[in-house]
């Protein structure tokens, strides 16, 4: 357990513990429900270390979850060109820490207000609250977008513009079910398919062309 990640759930833990103690005096079995919720919350905020591929040409998943779609779209915030978007849907059972897909400098970070529609919907990328990031090195600039969902209501950013991150470094998280999108250059070779389950910071989702 990382303290930085656990700290994001401090108020949730506090409320559940108070409710568990209060319910024990009313109906002891009810306190078991809150104990189960506390254990689930601990599991949700787990943040395991990952083995990060050393290959500089590889792009790793920015989040844990299932590949929801792979489509060609215009990325209009940073790159302002056609890209290949790999959408990753995070269920409430996935690790919710987000990780840098490549080594490089954070050159963009922008929060956008929006809705919290189901992150499995095709239009959530345009409608939902989001945080957009861009990571740049000599080979490429990769955009990552964190999106809220019907349950997720808080996007957390730990890195700032100008920070130098290694591939797989944690830069933020989304609480309770969500979507993370990785925008790749069209020259990149995508190595995953819809339905695949990926691990953030570890699973190679694409390979950049040779320099």
Q: In what order do the strands lie in the sheet with 141-147?
A: 164-165, 104-112, 130-136, 141-147, 178-184, 81-90, 65-75, 197-198
Distance CA 133, CA 61 (A): 14
Active site (annotated) includes residue 178 = yes
Of the candidates 200, 202, 204, the one whose C-alpha atom is nearest the C-alpha of residue 65 is 200
Q: Point out the catalytic residue in the list 125, 130, 159, 178.
A: 178
Q: Extract long-range pairs of 67-75: CB within 8 Å, 24+ residues apart.
A: 67/192, 67/193, 67/194, 67/195, 67/196, 67/197, 67/198, 67/205, 68/120, 68/179, 68/194, 69/122, 69/194, 70/190, 70/192, 70/193, 70/194, 72/186, 73/183, 75/143, 75/183
Residues designated catalytic? 178
């Amino acid at each position: 357990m990382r303290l930085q990640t656990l700290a994001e759930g401090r108020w949730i833990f506090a409320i559940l513990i108070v409710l568990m103690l209060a319910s024990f005096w009313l109906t002891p079995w009810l306190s078991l429900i809150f104990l189960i919720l506390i254990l689930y919350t601990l599991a949700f905020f787990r943040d395991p270390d990952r083995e990060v591929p050393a290959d500089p040409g590889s792009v790793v998943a920015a989040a844990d979850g299932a590949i929801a779609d792979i489509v060609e779209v215009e990325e209009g915030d940073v790159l302002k060109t056609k890209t290949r978007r790999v959408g990753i849907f995070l269920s409430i059972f996935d690790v919710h820490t987000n990780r840098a897909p490549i080594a490089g400098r954070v050159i963009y970070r922008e929060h956008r207000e929006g809705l919290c529609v189901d992150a499995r919907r095709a239009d959530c990328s345009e409608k939902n609250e989001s945080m957009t990031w861009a990571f740049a090195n000599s080979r490429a600039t990769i955009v990552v977008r964190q999106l809220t969902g019907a349950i997720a209501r808080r996007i957390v950013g730990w890195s700032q513009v100008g920070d130098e991150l290694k591939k797989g470094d944690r830069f933020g998280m989304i609480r309770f079910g969500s979507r993370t999108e990785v925008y790749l250059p069209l020259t990149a070779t995508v190595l995953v398919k819809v339905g695949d389950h990926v691990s953030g910071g570890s699973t190679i989702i694409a390979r950049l062309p040779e320099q």
